[in-house]
Structure 1
Amino acid sequence: MFELHPYQAQAIDALREGARQGYKRQLLALATGGGKTVVAAHLAHGAVEKGHKALFVVDRIELVGQAVRTFNELGLHVGVLQGENTSFARTDDIIVASIQTIRARQAPDWVHLVLIDECHILHQTHIKLMERWTAIPFIGLSATPLRKGLGRHFTNLVRGPSIRWLTEHGFLVPVRGFAPAADAVTEALKGIRVQRGDYVEADLGAAMNQKELVGDIVSTWQARGEDRQTLCFATSIAHSKAIRDDFEAVGVSIAHIDAYTSTDERRDIIARFKAREIRVLTSVNVLGIGFDVPDASCLILARPTLSEALHIQQMGRGIRRAEGKVDCLVLDHSGNTLKHGLPIHFEVPDLDDSETGTGEVRKKKDKDALVKCSHCGALMERGEVTCTECGLDRPTRTSKVSYRDGDLVEFGEASHRYEAGKAERQHFYQAAMGYLLSRGKKPGAAFYMTQERYPGFKPPFEWRELEPVEPTPAEHRWIKSRNIRWAKGRERAQGTRH
């Protein structure tokens, strides 16, 4: 068995306490990458130790294999109830089943515990099982339990740690993002019909599959994508293929997958993606839920959605940890992140128990969760003044105008600027030394870089004796943007002389 993280053990304890209190229908809300399947396996193992059997129900056929592999690795005897792959017996500890096959063939009635994966996608077959098997405990698993009426079927909600907590404690990687062409996307979405709480896919595909929008996706990835392994979420098969064609036209290795891609071909494509033979995977409605390839560290959001659940599920494909992965870069061509926020902004609400309505629970928001840097398009918190990507300050209505490197730029009032502490400034000084030494340059320039980073501050003389350190991602981005500004200023100066 895999060793549980403390927060996973706490979630299991909370579910067991709920069972002791008489709850037969519980829901565990745990972020993508938080280990829902591992928790499910430990729950199943606990049932097996009591001589019981478990049923694990998935929403998508491709999730069956993932669950089987995880349960096998945890030492459980696993049976399968899924189409032509069906093979199970009473001697198995746990049966992994697709809800589609249960609908067609029924589920084994000798199980003692039912675990429903992605339970926010609740089928009538799930509901009928719960209504028929009243004495059997059901536990739903979801990262985004936002569906209306979910509280009528699950009466106890157990919240795992938030995405923010998991990120801050190193279980998930942080996200940084850009929102290019947001105005063009807003214009393209005018008049798009909305049904069941989201845009009509047929209308959406036609609106977003415009040559200029597709071309912007490719050019932005070339400029910002940092040659990362990338997943792209498109609006339709035609849109996804158009994106593929434009990437191929500039020599980028890319593959398209959809619901009609054969299992063998999909397996081959994913293997080549993991081997970095394919740099970009583009799809529609395939990569968003349950797709588990942590190697991806860049996401292209090209499918606008009003669904916060879908947005967070898509973001979840990039926040899992992997070797050498320090963060996830989001290139948002949909406006979703401005509307719904980054993963760290998501909080699990109480379960909705309304009798009517479809879709998902919506939070009332007076303003968008994030704003866009007017200089580089980076996504920023509303309260942030200085962009961590380009190092420039956000314009404000009461701003004063200054010149920097020959360009007219607006800067926020000094009274509203974030005041860094001594420890942060010292660390930046050491990081600047480390950066310079790694490039064969003299570390003395760290003095001037720190003065630029913190105007009006003079680093103490004794800091010269400090040990150099590796820059954090934010420090490295600031130094990089500073070097770009300096180089452009030098080019303009040389052009003026000529």
Structure 2
Amino acid sequence: MSLFDYSSDPGLAPIDLKPLSKDFELREVQDKALLMLRASLRQGNKRVIMHIGTGGGKTILAGKLFHMIFKKNLHARVFFIVPRVTLLHQTKKVFEEVFGYDCGIIQGGNRVELNKHVQIATIQTLNNRLNSDKMDVYNIFRNIDISAVVVDEVHLEFKGFKTVMDVWEPLMIGLTATPFTKGMGKMWQDIVRPVPMAELISDGTLSKYKVVACTPIDRSKLTTMSTGEYKDEDVDNEVERITGDVFEEWNKSSEMKGRPFLLFAKSIKSCVAIAEHFSRNGVKIGYVHSKMSEEDIQNEINAFKSGYFIGLASVVMLIEGFDYPDVSAMIMCAPLAPSKSDPNIPNSCNRYVQMAGRGLRAKSDDGYCLIHDHSGNFINYGEYEYIEELFPGLDNGKKVKKVMSPTERKERAVRECFMCGCVIKTNKCPDCGTETKKPTQFLQAGDLIFEAGEMVELKSVGTRETSKYRTKSLSPELRLEFAQELKGYVASRRESYIPIKKEKGFYSHKYKERTGNWPGRGYRFNEVGEIEPSKAFMSYMESLKRQYRNEQKSRETKQAAN
């Protein structure tokens, strides 16, 4: 039987619309999105984008929208368009299990069944059918009766979509978490934004996240192409240099262990190289990319979801729409070049937010997504949730992007507290209480120097133990507490780190470094007891180590230059 065994539109019998489960309930953000969509449609708009953050339930929302259409017209036909085959199967599964829809598939060699009310199509195949050399296929797809079209990941502006919009004239709804693409306002009439990403994170719809800056790619060795992105070959060379560190820093992180993670690379070469390095060291992770067959891609994804792989590496295939809530960690190895118009944001804001979004669906036991950032993106561009604030509307070719004032930029700046490593936006660190009036006292992106396998926490989640002795002046009680913790620290590192004959000198110098005075009566090494150092004390000591290493490397760099 031929793939196309019809000669005309077969028409549609009434759909067997199944009632939704009693347990089915839309989230608040989804309800709000439908209300705002109705308001936009009442104003006469027929092409509307719904901007909902990653993990906001866009597929469920589309299924509910179709259900509302079918309740009004049992003979309706609707299309759901996706950019990739992986999303096609994912969407079909949700529509069948949650809504009971019998879906037709328009993709590659799949048999076309236009007598089904819900059609899921890849844009590539749909475009081919709309421009087919076979007149029967051409006429059927150009003249088919359609009530509504929903386009997933509409920000991609995939090839052929303009043809769809030019040929078809039904209601069109675009779904995306990142409506930042240039020129979208020329094709779409309106955008509805029910809840900003920052609010989704604060209310628990999306998980919080913690970013740890790891051994970075050296951006000074990267060339920017005419596309605005870094050259793949340059990134590959840098990734080759740090591949061992990517594994070592994952391996030594107790927080990372047991977390299913996604890894994003800039190119297929880097993606495969990192994955194979993990595998050679006994850690099974898979990888997917555009050169693999559909069957192999699905096998790798299934192996990851079943737990056979602890991680899954990708270039762009998993960036949009990949839905696996158990992902609770990310490894970023894909540096994004800065925008030519504003170096404080990435050239591809879409990709920056979408990559992080794959992990923000997660709700692990400790409630946050852990991100190891080797790309340097986070410290250069800041928190993911604030990117959308720079785009108040759709780009229609004119200047739409909001330019932050110096005051706003200062408020948004990601700066590392030189004492504890926590991200701060004010002159006082909320974690350890350290104050400064000079911004230069904080480590900026260009000041961070890493040794192999060295990690620096950039954004913490929740609160860490805070010690009052980090204020500028110490009361006698706090000074004694500091002295006792310092002695406990010395004792715990006796011989392995601090020789016995030097421990008194080490104690005295660290005491003076913190208090400004040599230890006096009641505070000398032989006069105080020892207690186990607190987490806050250990964080303080680690900051001193980092500061020393940075100063040492700066001196070496200057000497080499001279």
TM-score by length of 1: 0.75
CA distance 1:398–1:287, change in 2 (3 Å): closer
Q: Which of 226, 244, 266 is the aligned partner of 1:215?
A: 244
Which AA in structure 2 matches 1:490? A
Q: Which of 110, 114, 117 is the aligned partner of 2:152?
A: 117
Corresponding residue of 2:294: 263
Corresponding residue of 1:313: 354
CA distance 1:58–1:325, change in 2 (3 Å): farther
SS in 2 for 1:317: helix
CA distance 1:334–1:19, change in 2 (3 Å): same
Q: Determine the C-alpha separation between the residues in 1 that align with 2:414 and 2:313.
A: 26
Q: Which of 14, 30, 39 is the aligned partner of 2:61?
A: 39
1:256 touches 1:281 (CA, 8 Å); kept in 2?
Answer: yes
Q: Which of 292, 316, 323 is the aligned partner of 1:292?
A: 323
Q: Determine the C-alpha separation between the residues in 1 that align with 2:197 and 2:475.
A: 36
1:380 correspondence with 2:415: no
Q: Which of 124, 144, 162 is the aligned partner of 1:127?
A: 162
SS in 1 for 2:156: coil
Q: Determine the C-alpha separation between the residues in 2 that align with 1:42 and 1:345.
A: 29
1:370 correspondence with 2:404: no
Q: Which of 250, 272, 283 is the aligned partner of 2:314?
A: 283
* Alignment deviations for residues 148-184 of structure 1 (CA, whole Å, 9 cap, x no partner): 11011111110021121111111111011111234x5
Count residues with an aligned counterpart: 418
Q: Determine the C-alpha separation between the residues in 1 that align with 2:218 and 2:37.
A: 43
Q: Determine the C-alpha separation between the residues in 2 that align with 1:205 and 1:362.
A: 34
CA distance 1:385–1:87, change in 2 (3 Å): farther
1:179 touches 1:335 (CA, 8 Å); kept in 2?
Answer: yes
Q: CA deviation at 1:364?
A: 5.6
Q: Which of 38, 53, 71 is the aligned partner of 1:16?
A: 38
SS in 1 for 2:218: helix
Q: Which of 71, 75, 80 is the aligned partner of 2:105?
A: 80
Residue ranges of structure 2 left out of the alignment (5+ in a row):
1-19, 131-140, 337-345, 442-461, 478-484, 502-562
Corresponding residue of 1:102: 126
1:59 touches 1:99 (CA, 8 Å); kept in 2?
Answer: yes
SS in 2 for 1:318: helix
1:241 touches 1:256 (CA, 8 Å); kept in 2?
Answer: yes
Corresponding residue of 1:139: 173
Q: Which of 193, 198, 201 is the aligned partner of 1:159?
A: 193
Which AA in structure 2 matches 1:144? T
Q: Which of 476, 496, 500 is the aligned partner of 1:497?
A: 500
SS in 2 for 1:103: helix
2:221 touches 2:234 (CA, 8 Å); kept in 1?
Answer: no
Q: Determine the C-alpha separation between the residues in 2 that align with 1:370 and 1:215.
A: 27
Q: CA deviation at 1:292?
A: 1.4
1:179 touches 1:379 (CA, 8 Å); kept in 2?
Answer: no
Corresponding residue of 2:368: 327
* Alignment deviations for residues 45-87 of structure 1 (CA, whole Å, 9 cap, x no partner): 1111122221111111211001111111222232111111244
CA distance 1:84–1:177, change in 2 (3 Å): same
CA distance 1:396–1:96, change in 2 (3 Å): same
CA distance 1:326–1:4, change in 2 (3 Å): same
TM-score by length of 2: 0.67
Q: Determine the C-alpha separation between the residues in 2 that align with 1:453 and 1:300.
A: 33
1:47 touches 1:53 (CA, 8 Å); kept in 2?
Answer: no
1:188 correspondence with 2:191: no
Corresponding residue of 1:403: none
Q: Determine the C-alpha separation between the residues in 2 that align with 1:231 and 1:4.
A: 28
* Alignment deviations for residues 253-277 of structure 1 (CA, whole Å, 9 cap, x no partner): 2222222333333333333323433
1:175 touches 1:342 (CA, 8 Å); kept in 2?
Answer: no
Which AA in structure 1 matches 2:191? L
CA distance 1:93–1:239, change in 2 (3 Å): same
SS in 2 for 1:195: coil
Corresponding residue of 1:89: 114
1:118 touches 1:141 (CA, 8 Å); kept in 2?
Answer: yes
* Alignment deviations for residues 455-481 of structure 1 (CA, whole Å, 9 cap, x no partner): 97999xxxxxxxxxxxxxxxxxxxxxx
Q: Determine the C-alpha separation between the residues in 2 that align with 1:53 and 1:127.
A: 21
Q: Which of 47, 50, 58 is the aligned partner of 2:82?
A: 58
Q: Determine the C-alpha separation between the residues in 2 that align with 1:395 and 1:222.
A: 35
Q: Which of 388, 401, 405 is the aligned partner of 1:347?
A: 388
Q: Which residues in structure 2 correspond to 1:229-268 (within 5 Å)?
A: 229-268=260-299
* Alignment deviations for residues 315-355 of structure 1 (CA, whole Å, 9 cap, x no partner): 00100034636110111111111233233323252334444
Which AA in structure 1 matches 2:240? Q
CA distance 1:399–1:24, change in 2 (3 Å): closer
CA distance 1:451–1:159, change in 2 (3 Å): same
* Alignment deviations for residues 110-134 of structure 1 (CA, whole Å, 9 cap, x no partner): 1111111111112352222222333
Q: Determine the C-alpha separation between the residues in 2 that align with 1:116 and 1:299.
A: 27
Corresponding residue of 1:439: none
RMSD of aligned residue pairs (Cα, Å): 3.4
SS in 2 for 1:246: helix
Q: Determine the C-alpha separation between the residues in 1 that align with 2:491 and 2:152.
A: 57
Q: Determine the C-alpha separation between the residues in 2 that align with 1:302 and 1:394.
A: 33
Q: CA deviation at 1:356?
A: 8.0
Which AA in structure 2 matches 1:217? V
CA distance 1:488–1:292, change in 2 (3 Å): farther
Which AA in structure 1 matches 2:426? G
Q: Which of 174, 187, 212 is the aligned partner of 2:208?
A: 174
Corresponding residue of 1:226: 256
Percent identity at matched positions? 28
Q: Determine the C-alpha separation between the residues in 2 that align with 1:398 and 1:347.
A: 26
CA distance 1:291–1:373, change in 2 (3 Å): farther
CA distance 1:339–1:450, change in 2 (3 Å): closer
* Alignment deviations for residues 226-270 of structure 1 (CA, whole Å, 9 cap, x no partner): 212221111212212221233234322222222233333333333
Residue ranges of structure 1 left out of the alignment (5+ in a row):
401-426, 433-448, 460-483
Which AA in structure 1 matches 2:325? P
Q: Determine the C-alpha separation between the residues in 1 that align with 2:487 and 2:303.
A: 40
CA distance 1:356–1:160, change in 2 (3 Å): closer
2:285 touches 2:313 (CA, 8 Å); kept in 1?
Answer: yes
CA distance 1:369–1:493, change in 2 (3 Å): same
Corresponding residue of 2:232: 201
CA distance 1:256–1:488, change in 2 (3 Å): farther
1:147 touches 1:361 (CA, 8 Å); kept in 2?
Answer: no
Which AA in structure 2 matches 1:370? V
Q: Determine the C-alpha separation between the residues in 2 that align with 1:355 and 1:10.
A: 29
